[in-house]
A and B are shown apart, each in its own frame.
Chain A
Amino acid sequence: MIVQAADTAETGGPAIAITGLVKHYGNHRALNGIDLDIRRGEKVVICGPSGSGKSTLIRCINALERHDGGSIVVNGIKLTADEGAVQDIRQEVGMVFQHFNLFPHLTALENCMLAPRLNRGLAKARAEKLAMHYLERVHLADHARKYPARLSGGQQQRVAIARALCMEPRILLFDEPTSALDPEMVKEVLGVMEELAASGVTMICVTHEMGFARRVADRCVFMDHGEIVEDGEAETFFQAPESGRLRDFLARILR
């Protein structure tokens, strides 16, 4: 299955193809027919007011939320209720959360080693080498033996990024990665994310960091009430927003 998926990806199919995606919470329609294609290597920023469905959208991509209608195809693998498909997709997709969600009982290094050891059966020494490699990449090699409780918010989030990278995913999802951080720590996390963006990985980032969006995003998507209202290149998105709703939103967050 994974081999097949790699073929599809190599032949240039989209990294993620979403069509007619619908998600309900009870009577509330959180996603109301989303169509979105994301090319391989593309950096997409999703923004929108709270409750617009942006987090729900990216949480559907790795099946943390199960969708009720439409289809999601990730690297050629169709996301179904089948556990095998879900597991295959999760091997391809890494995720970084607003609240870091590190394993508090494991050191930074062990946080990074757990998934490679369990999923790929890597020996301890190899997993450790892999984990150190990615901890270096997020500039935290010195803190590898510390427990999350001893790290600052920014450091914890960078460990969380390294932990996701250790599974060597082709796609990275970021769910408001800097919203829970003190202002002085936002920069170090965005810095790491920008370095990552340069490496060619596909990135989808829910964020309100518009400076980051301008510097990094190939494309920006604006959502409201479970729908994509505007979807365009970063430049035109900020310079010439078409819809009134996006203009209002930008005016509010850019101040």
Chain B
Amino acid sequence: MNGLPIDLHLAWESLPALFDGLKMTAILTALPLLFGLALAFPIGFARMSDRRWLAFLAEAFVTFFRGAPLLILLYLVYYGLGQIEALRKGPFWILFGSPFGCAIVALSFNHAAYMVEVLRGSLLAVPHGIVEASEALGISRRNVFIWVKMPLAIRYGLKAYQNEVVSFIKGTAIVSVVTITDLTAVANSIFEQTYDPFTPILCAAAFYWAFVNLVRIGFDLWGRWLNRHNAEDVAADAVAPGRGPSLRPASDLKQVTP
């Protein structure tokens, strides 16, 4: 030992295993983000539907999957569903028979429930007047959604989405309880073999930190590109400070009403 709590030699030796763990964590992030988002759209539409029963079903989905702790959800899917014989004999057993499949399902539903609310909030934030203007131009409802509502909703919801993704990444760590060797599981197994808690756990923390920040930088670049119409505004203000109070927070894309 050299005074540091970290054994540099062990850290170096552990790198390949930790990278493999990070790869699993990345997959367990990417796939549920994809599936969750895909699920969030139809459920979100149902949630905003005028049909009461449809909105109620969607709300029940959100309440359940947002309310249930992820760990409980994972146990339910992994241990619970296996008890159902029809499922064990059915075609879906390919999915539910493996810990990986179970983790993807639990994580996707959890993420979907959160995304329904993010999506709904962002769509409701689109100023009504802008939607009316599109309708008055004779643009069909479908096109108004694709070309006006959604592009604006993405801008309003980006920060909330980023928060959800970042906390989701860290949340994936619980999959180690169903025998998946993600980043946390790798670090834990190194600890159990070496009885050195600091080196593997701190290394894993560094890996998480790097991953999360990479995602954050990605979001920042995306957000800057999306909000270029406001960024330009800031530049104009810097050049011509007398131009009046046109500097607005990025979250406020509403039209100026002088």
B138 x A156 contact (CB < 8 A)? no
B255 x A115 contact (CB < 8 A)? no
A64 and B255 contact, Cβ closer than 8 Å, known pairs A104-B229, A105-B229? no
- B139: A residues at CB distance < 8 A: 114-115, 118-119
Please encode chain B, from 218 to 234, with 1 for each CB lying within 8 Å of some chain A CB and 0 for all others: 00000000101110110
Interface status of A153 (Cβ within 8 A of chain B): yes
Interface status of A222 (Cβ within 8 A of chain B): no
B136 x A156 contact (CB < 8 A)? no
Interface status of B253 (Cβ within 8 A of chain A): yes
Interface status of A103 (Cβ within 8 A of chain B): yes
Report, as a range, how many residues of chain A touch the other chain: 35 or more
A97 and B229 contact, Cβ closer than 8 Å, known pairs A164-B137, A167-B138, A181-B258? no
A180 x B129 contact (CB < 8 A)? no
- A87: B residues at CB distance < 8 A: 138, 140
Interface status of B133 (Cβ within 8 A of chain A): yes
Count residues of chain B with CB under 8 A from any CB of chain A: 33
Interface status of A52 (Cβ within 8 A of chain B): no
B137 x A150 contact (CB < 8 A)? no
Interface status of B236 (Cβ within 8 A of chain A): yes
- B152: A residues at CB distance < 8 A: 103-105
> B147, B230, B246, B253: which contacts A114 (Cβ < 8 A)?
B147
Closest residue of A by beta carbon distance from B129: A101
Complex: A186 Cα to B12 Cα, angstroms: 70
Complex: A208 Cα to B197 Cα, angstroms: 76
B137 x A167 contact (CB < 8 A)? yes
B138 x A100 contact (CB < 8 A)? no
Complex: A85 Cα to B104 Cα, angstroms: 47
Closest residue of B by beta carbon distance from A151: B256
- A101: B residues at CB distance < 8 A: 127, 129-130, 132-133, 255
> B137, B155, B232: which contacts A90 (Cβ < 8 A)?
B137
Least CB distance, B158 to chain A, in whole angstroms = 12
Interface status of B151 (Cβ within 8 A of chain A): yes
The residues in B between 38 and 88 inclusive whose CB is less than 8 angstroms from any CB of A are none
Interface status of A94 (Cβ within 8 A of chain B): yes
- A90: B residues at CB distance < 8 A: 135-138
- A182: B residues at CB distance < 8 A: 258
Interface status of B143 (Cβ within 8 A of chain A): yes
B135 x A64 contact (CB < 8 A)? yes
Least CB distance, B223 to chain A, in whole angstroms = 13
Interface status of A62 (Cβ within 8 A of chain B): yes
Interface status of B193 (Cβ within 8 A of chain A): no
The residues in B between 115 and 148 inclusive whose CB is less than 8 angstroms from any CB of A are 127, 129-130, 132-140, 143, 147-148
B155 x A94 contact (CB < 8 A)? no
A103 and B148 contact, Cβ closer than 8 Å, known pairs A147-B233, A150-B233, A180-B258? yes
Question: Which 7 A-B residue pairings sit nearest by Cβ, starting from the closest?
Answer: A147-B229, A90-B138, A101-B133, A115-B137, A95-B136, A101-B129, A149-B233
Seen from chain A, the residues whose Cβ lies within 8 Å of a Cβ on chain B are 62, 64, 87, 90-91, 93-95, 97, 99-105, 107, 114-115, 118-119, 146-150, 153, 156, 160, 163-164, 167, 180-182
* Known pairs A147-B228, A150-B233, A182-B258 / 8 extra A-B pairs, C-beta < 8 Å: A102-B130, A103-B152, A105-B152, A115-B139, A119-B140, A148-B255, A149-B248, A167-B138
**What would be 16 A-B contacts, judged by CB atoms less than 8 Å apart?**
A94-B137, A99-B257, A102-B130, A102-B255, A105-B226, A105-B253, A114-B148, A115-B139, A118-B140, A119-B137, A147-B229, A149-B232, A149-B256, A150-B229, A156-B255, A182-B258
